[in-house]
Structure 1
Amino acid sequence: MVREYGRLTTRSVAEPTLALAHIEPADFDWLCLLSNRYKVSHEPALTQLEDSCTLQLDNYVGVIETPTGQVIEILPKTANDGDSPERGRELIRRMLECALDIPSREAAEALLDCFDLPLNEWVMARFLTELDHLVKRGVRSDYQRLEAIEPFLRGQLDVARQMRQPPGRSHHFALRYDLFLPDRAENRLLKLALDTVANTTQHPDNWRLAQELRHLLVDIPASRDVEGDFRQWRCDRLIAHYQGARPWCELILYRAMPSSLHGEWRGISLLFPMEKLFERYVEVCLREQLQPGASLTAQAASKYLCQHQDQDIFQLKPDLLLHHDAKHWVLDVKWKRLDSSDRDSKYGISQGDLYQLFAYGHKYLHDQDEGHLVLIYPSWGKLKAPLAPFHFDKRLTLWALPFELDAALSPRLVLPSQQDDDPRSRLSLPLRTTTPE
């Protein structure tokens, strides 16, 4: 078990920590090959080769299983040595539910929290729970048009085919008829996902429930065309109870992920880039906290950095654009740990991020007397309160604010106290549940 940007080494490690753990040479070589495949597909690399014996992980979180059976669990970098792994797992679960637009089901969560499940087993458990709920509500069937040669009459006689019957087969009938069968796109996909889980899970409770459900769905064939069947997945009233199982089914069947993230199974592995999960999580939480009349636009793309030959070029896309009345705020989300005590190192803020926000402010807030830009970072032990504001000029001000991730404190953006008489040092966002520190 390691955290983001932790190291895996083939050298012996006396005391493994979240920052450094031992890995077998065969697994080391396999991770190197896997990382190269990510680069070829223009995805961020899974690992960086530090030396001939050491790999540094990138910003993916989740679980990955090597061909030798070694399971590597990668926790968010907010986890410190000595922290319970369940805290990191619980954070990923909440973010994943937000990214997939899945409402939390308290009863199911209460049961699942009894188990110290890694992320991949948790995803399989959620799928099985939703599928069990679906089966209890009833598996939907549909009429299927069949053409067959039968020794008895039923349905419609196909006269043309019957006339072409050879003399010795004249006592058989060429028929067309409809049967009410559960062989439909949604059920085929669920059956394929169920077979995958049943053959993959290592958790006894997941395995037992998967076998029970396989017995109940034995008459349904597994999908042979995943993408084609997903295109045929209906969303009408008669199968509304199928919608809860669909996101988990998509995860398990390698389906393209929601636009906010990309994940991929490798064996029983499930990996997500953490910055995409965090960005989506912040967006969902802020939408729930908006005051009446306020709106939030994700990935606004109405402005360009400059013009070239009378055409706009270099599109500017801030993560979030907040609107209320005639005012706007530009918000950008960064999955990075700042140190509020390290003034000499500029708290860990990237100069490139300030350049980026400066351009956003001049293009998106050019018509406001006071423009406020916000960089949102995860809250952790060394960043619990907002930093003092950064003033670009008399009009533009940038704020670095922590986003509270602790479920016990409720996810929220921590605003600065409003004690300064300078209007540039006062930030008032149209959020209902945010309390000044």
Structure 2
Amino acid sequence: MPRIMRVLEHSILTIGDQQGTGEERAEFRESHFEALLRYHRTGPGRRYYDVRHRAIRFKHYVGVVQAGDLTIEVLPKADAVPDAATAPNEDFDRWRRLLLRLLAEAGLLPVDSLHTALLHERPHSLLDLYLALFLTEVEHLLRRGLVKRYRAHEGQVKALKGTLLFGQHLSRNAVHRERFYTRHQTYDHDHLLHRLLRQALALLPTLTPHPGLRGRAARALLAWPELPAVRPTAALFARLRYDRKTAAYRPALRIARLLLLRLSPDLHSGPQDLVALFFNMNRIWERYLLRTIRRLAPADWHVGKPPKCVFWQDAAGTTVSRMQPDIVLEHPAHGCLVLDAKWKRPDGYYAEDDLRQLFAYAHQFGATRVRLLYPQPGTESGVEGLFARPLFVEGAGAHPIHCGISYVRVGHEPAAGLATDVDPVSNLLRCSLTQDLATWLPGGAGLSGADAG
């Protein structure tokens, strides 16, 4: 059973570092460093960490990497000190639960399975948790019965059914008159949803040494129909369509996509006995804020992430540069508000490059209100200001561009006497957006429904 070490994003793990006591004692040894070094040299690892002298410095990706008999969990923390070793008294359990909640509310973890993950998180690593959730969803599908579909089939049959293809029939069955070459429909379990899930089931035992998970995967494979393999691609998953009967497949296929595509998050299994499952914390933060603001915003405000748009191209039109803000709120009477989410701890109130990016967004989208959203690790307070150059609108003159810098707190605030990160009424993470959003919107807009409280 791999031993588990937990570190924070942007921290450094050095050969010889240890965690735990007794049977749970884990040590980062030379062999683990060499495995991570090989993974870094092959390419994918460069996104997730840098290699130092006998040490690994993790970046803004969170998740888990399993190197031989050691599992390293990289957890988020907005106030983590860069290039520092992780403190031994760090509250890892809290940051682990917070990561699971963020993944669920960002749509990267099936919400219905979140309580199962929180109840059974202690014995497993984060990777094992994801695999366990996948198996739970697959077992649920097996219990309710797998869905059959009609599919077109062309070939030899011993009883005439469907359309007889005379040309192929005469050329193939001149001797075998008991056969018919036909094109007909078959009603069975052989369709794309089942093929993808079977491939993920077959991959699972190679990703974990946990005997319980491997046993569950073996039993599920025995119960699953034998199906031909298919090459999984992002385009293939994008083609999937669900109806009333197959809606229950969505959570399992969401995790299967993570396991099979090896993209975002990235999953790698190779000869160096290393498996990695990482999430870009900037993407999690952006998706969490988008879904939370969409839930809290008044009904007359449209909240979304606009498509990429061209803001520069060369004279020949062959090279273009595009931009895409994280969140845009639009109102027919009050215009639009552009929000840019940044998961980082800026030096001072803001980062200069972030302000320049907001200035470009304001002029590109005609917005007179823009705002930066940083996580709030401490007691930082927001800042309001104006850009020196206004927005010129044809026929309407110049309009000042209001630029705000806000710090969004996720989880409990000890100073307020709140003991838990989750609101007991909504069963969602506590978030300062509940109070802040109404102050950002022009026209005195209030929050929607029950969230206004």
State whether TM-score is above 0.5: yes
CA contact (8 A) 2:9 2:74 kept: yes
Residue range with higher mean Cα deviation, 134-143 or 79-88: 79-88
RMSD of aligned residue pairs (Cα, Å): 4.0
Matched residue, 1:350: 351
Cα 1:225–1:362 shift into 2, 3 Å? closer
Q: CA deviation at 1:297?
A: 3.1
Cα distance between partner residues in 1 of 2:105 and 2:435 = 26
Amino acid at match of 2:431: R
Matched residue, 1:58: 59
TM-score (norm 1): 0.76
Matched residue, 2:92: 85
Cα distance between partner residues in 2 of 1:59 and 1:428 = 37
Cα 1:166–1:2 shift into 2, 3 Å? closer
CA contact (8 A) 1:13 1:22 kept: yes
SS in 1 for 2:51: strand
TM-score (norm 2): 0.73
C-alpha offsets along residues 103-124 of structure 1, whole Å, 9 cap, x if unaligned?
Answer: 621xx43333221232211211
Matched residue, 2:342: 334
Matched residue, 2:142: 135
Q: CA deviation at 1:403?
A: 2.1
CA contact (8 A) 1:401 1:414 kept: no
Q: How does 1:223-234 map to 2 (within 5 A)?
A: 223-227=229-233, 230=237, 233-234=240-241
Q: CA deviation at 1:396?
A: 3.4
Q: How does 1:7-22 map to 2 (within 5 A)?
A: 7-10=12-15, 12-13=16-17
Q: Does 1:206 align with 2:231?
A: no
Cα distance between partner residues in 1 of 2:145 and 2:326 = 41
Matched residue, 1:408: 422
CA contact (8 A) 1:36 1:45 kept: no
Cα 1:75–1:170 shift into 2, 3 Å? closer
Q: CA deviation at 1:271?
A: 1.0
Cα distance between partner residues in 2 of 1:154 and 1:379 = 71
Q: How does 1:24-173 map to 2 (within 5 A)?
A: 24-38=29-43, 45-50=47-52, 52-66=53-67, 68-78=68-78, 81=87, 82-100=89-107, 104-105=111-112, 108-115=113-120, 116=122, 117-143=124-150, 145=153, 147-148=155-156, 153=159, 155=161, 170=176, 172-173=178-179
Unaligned runs of 5+ in 1: 339-344
Q: CA deviation at 1:361?
A: 3.2
C-alpha offsets along residues 143-181 of structure 1, whole Å, 9 cap, x if unaligned?
Answer: 45253375xx554777666655799x6575345465533
SS in 2 for 1:130: helix
Cα distance between partner residues in 1 of 2:383 and 2:165 = 82
Amino acid at match of 1:392: F
Q: Does 1:245 align with 2:266?
A: no
Amino acid at match of 1:73: E
Amino acid at match of 1:223: A
C-alpha offsets along residues 221-259 of structure 1, whole Å, 9 cap, x if unaligned?
Answer: 2523223864764433442332232211111112655xx
Cα distance between partner residues in 1 of 2:241 and 2:436 = 50
Matched residue, 1:188: 195
SS in 2 for 1:34: helix
Amino acid at match of 1:24: R
CA contact (8 A) 2:130 2:255 kept: yes
- Which structure exhibits the higher relative contact order, with contacts defined as CA atoms closer than 8 Å and separated by 6 or more residues? 2
Matched residue, 1:342: none
Identity across matched positions, percent: 22
Cα 1:313–1:335 shift into 2, 3 Å? same
SS in 1 for 2:407: strand
CA contact (8 A) 1:391 1:398 kept: yes
